[in-house]
């Protein structure tokens, strides 16, 4: 693929990824359809900002840095799992109560990529857009 086609791929997958954060990822009992935006409001806008940054980098002619946008999206999406890995097991009473009171939505956000079998149609679009965005950004960085 040439640089022009990869640039178009970055634009298309960035738009698709930005839209797919609002699509229903899964359906949870008593809660209904859940989008990534509903699970992680702030993080979803950070993902959209990284998608826009990839397009912006292409516009200003700095395509070699588009891989940073892909890395930023992955760090944002994996942040709940990373944060949970570094949480200490020896904690106080208040911390234990807070952890027990965490909702099903935050648990789903932390295990987002482990719950692929629970995805609905929007979840598969989100996952494909994420993978496409990552591949096109990395390839465009090195082309």
Average pLDDT, the chain: 82
Q: What percent of the chain has pLDDT over 90?
A: 50
pLDDT of residue 39: 81
Q: Where are the alpha helices (DSSP H) in 60-142?
A: 66-85, 93-100, 104-110, 121-142
- Is the pLDDT reported for residue 94 higher than 60? no
pTM above 0.95, yes or no: no
The model's confidence at residue 143, banded by pLDDT at 50, 70 and 90, is confident
Spell out the residues 6+ positions from residue 111 whose beta carbon is closer than 8 angstroms to its own. 81
Q: Give the separation between CA 108 and CA 117, rounded to whole angstroms.
A: 12
Pairing type for strands 32-35 and 24-28 reads antiparallel
The dihedral over CA atoms of 50, 85, 41, 25, expressed in degrees to the nearest 10, equals 90
Classify residue 117 by its DSSP letter: G
- Is the pLDDT reported for residue 72 higher than 90? yes
The model's confidence at residue 97, banded by pLDDT at 50, 70 and 90, is very low
Q: What percent of the chain has pLDDT over 70?
A: 74
């Amino acid at each position: 693929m040439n640089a022009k086609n990869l640039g178009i791929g970055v634009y298309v997958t960035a738009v698709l990824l930005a839209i797919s954060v609002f699509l229903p990822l899964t359906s949870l009992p008593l809660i209904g359809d859940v989008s990534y935006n509903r699970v992680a409001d702030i993080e979803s806008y950070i993902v959209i900002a990284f998608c826009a940054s990839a397009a912006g980098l292409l516009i200003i002619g700095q395509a070699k840095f588009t891989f940073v946008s892909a890395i930023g999206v992955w760090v944002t999406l994996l942040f709940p799992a990373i944060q949970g890995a570094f949480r200490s097991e020896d904690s106080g009473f208040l911390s234990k109560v807070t952890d027990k009171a965490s909702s099903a939505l935050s648990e789903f956000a932390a295990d987002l990529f482990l719950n692929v079998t629970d995805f609905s149609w929007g979840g598969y679009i989100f996952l494909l857009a994420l993978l496409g965005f990552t591949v096109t950004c990395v390839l465009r960085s090195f082309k």
